Copies of this chain bind each other. A is one copy, B any other.
Amino acid sequence: MITDKKERVIEAAALSFSQFGFKATTMASVAKIAKVAKGTIYTFFDSKESLFSTILERTMKQLRQAADTAIQEEAAFHENIQAMLDAILGFRENHQLLIKMGQEAKELGTAEVLEILTQVERQILDYIKSVIMKEKAKGIVTKHDPELLAFLVYKIYIALISDWERQHEPLPKETISEIIRAQIH
């Protein structure tokens, strides 16, 4: 059955991309793990890139879901933003594929993978933006427009969590909350 094979290919590819990265994953090995011939993969996907895109899209969907469940209809705006950021960062830190992409970008520095990471960031920003817009529709007033606010909040959060810890003790959760909250007004 067609779907069965396609599923197997996706599963094998997801495993391999997560474990070895984009470059070190070969179509031959994906075929072998999926127990199909190499040619078969090309009946489902145009190229290695498009196969990868499918995996990435699936991962981004999971990320959106993780973020969605962190949001509570009745909670305060700033609490939701905070919870969502935690969920996103937690996901990023735990999901093997995104970790591997980060490593690969640093080690190999290929334009290809760099491009992928910008795309991931773009999608995360879009998601944050959509959350902000939903809150805005509920009547909350923000100082800046959603695009800028999403950008600000995300960049600051990353800076406080990742960059800061490269040279300092981790900041207490309350300090981070307070700073993020201050951006929202």
* Interface of A toward B, CB cutoff 8 Å: 109, 122, 144, 147-148, 151-152, 155-156, 159-160, 163-164, 167-168, 171, 175, 179, 182-183
Q: Are B152 and A155 in contact (CB under 8 A)?
A: no
Q: Are A151 and B144 in contact (CB under 8 A)?
A: no
Query: CA A148 – CA B178 in complex, angstroms?
Result: 13
Shortest beta-carbon distance from A161 to chain B in Å: 12
Given contact pairs A109-B109, A148-B171, a sample of 12 additional A-B residue pairs in the complex whose CB atoms are under 8 Å apart: A122-B167, A144-B175, A151-B163, A152-B156, A152-B159, A152-B160, A155-B156, A155-B159, A155-B163, A156-B159, A159-B159, A182-B183
- On whether A164 and B151 interact (CB within 8 A), knowing A109-B109, A156-B156, the answer reads yes
Cross-chain pairs A/B with CB under 8 angstroms, 13 sampled: A109-B109, A144-B175, A148-B164, A151-B164, A152-B159, A152-B160, A152-B179, A155-B155, A155-B159, A156-B156, A156-B159, A159-B159, A182-B183
Query: CA A168 – CA B156 in complex, angstroms?
Result: 18
Query: CA A95 – CA B55 in complex, angstroms?
Result: 43
Copies in the complex: 2
Shortest beta-carbon distance from A154 to chain B in Å: 9
Residues of B within 8 A of A144 (CB): 175, 179
Query: CA A50 – CA B160 in complex, angstroms?
Result: 33
Residues of B within 8 A of A147 (CB): 168
Query: CA A156 – CA B163 in complex, angstroms?
Result: 12
Residues of B within 8 A of A122 (CB): 167
